Amino acid sequence: MSRILIVIPAFNEMKKLPGVIAGIRASIPDAEILVVNDGSADGTAEVARKLGALVVSLPWNMGYGVAIQTGYKYALSNRYDWLVQIDADGQHDPRDILTLLEPVTSGACDFVIGSRFLGTESYRPPLVRRIGMRLFSKLLRLLTGKHVTDSTSGFQAFNAEVFTFLTGDYFPCDYPDADLLLLLSRAGFRITERPVRMYASSDGRSMHGGLKPVYYIFKMLLSIGVTLLRVTPMRPGGKR
């Protein structure tokens, strides 16, 4: 039987987590939910456990990228077939999980990104972020030939081959997005997008504040550049 794992990386989200988990259960009751507790100081892990989710707690806060990679490692060692990653703060709509999974479970694709820009535009991020996203979209299109509208979306679904590949040390743990897509594309994985609904984080907290956007752009450009310079490990049976 095909097993699906829904990975929710969470840092101090004890308030929003119940809503997200309830939404996921309503959409896809057969899937198992894994909450990766990224060094939360509030009761995130306890709340998750009480709601019947699987919980893996990182010993200290290591960031979004490390948390989701921990989810991939869990999926690999517990032999899941498909993986969906969704944010813990309610930005992603769990009702779109099945939309995201469809191209992967049907075998049409290896990796699906949930794009907020296809279909109904439910939430527009601030201007600076939009400019950054457009820039990397264009760059990605140039480098991979693939048209990606939402490269920073953390709402993704993929198959076991992809998450196995991503457990390696070449997974960009800082801000995995455009450079990750480039890496997957070069390794021969088939990537597609599906429209999803996203909502602004209701308490206005952002992962990106202060000097972080500057570092983000620098890091992305450097990461994309070196990804092009490296020899990418190939997926078995993949074509370049």
DSSP 168: S
Distance of CA 46 to CAs 13, 27, 178, Å?
11, 23, 34
Site string for another protein, 31-50 (x = CB under 8 A): -----x--------------
Tokens 């939404």 — which residue? 23
Segment interacting with another protein, rule: CB under 8 A, options 52-60, 148-156, 158-166, 215-223:
52-60
What does the per-residue mask of binding to another protein show for 97-136, with x meaning CB under 8 A? ----------------------------------------
3-state SS string over 72-96? HHHHHHCCCCEEEECCCCCCECHHH
Tell me how far, at minimum, the Cβ of 103 lies from another protein, in Å. Answer: 29
What does the alpha-carbon distance between residue 114 and residue 155 come to, in Å, rounded to a whole number?
A: 5
Tell me how far apart the alpha carbons of residues 31 and 6 are, in angstroms, rounded to a whole number. Answer: 7
Contact flag: residue 51 with another protein (CB under 8 A): no
- The least distance separating another protein from the CB of residue 7, rounded to whole angstroms, comes to 13
Looking at the DSSP bridge assignments, the partners of residue 70 are: none
Q: Of the candidates 1, 29, 41, 59, which one interacts with another protein according to CB under 8 A?
A: 59
Binding mask 150-169 for another protein (x = CB under 8 A): -------------------x
Q: Provide the minimum distance between the beta carbon of 131 and another protein in the complex, in angstroms, as a whole number.
A: 30
Residues in CB range of 106: below 8 A, 6 or more apart: none
Chain positions contacting another protein, by CB under 8 A:
36, 54-60, 62, 66, 69-70, 73-74, 77, 169, 173
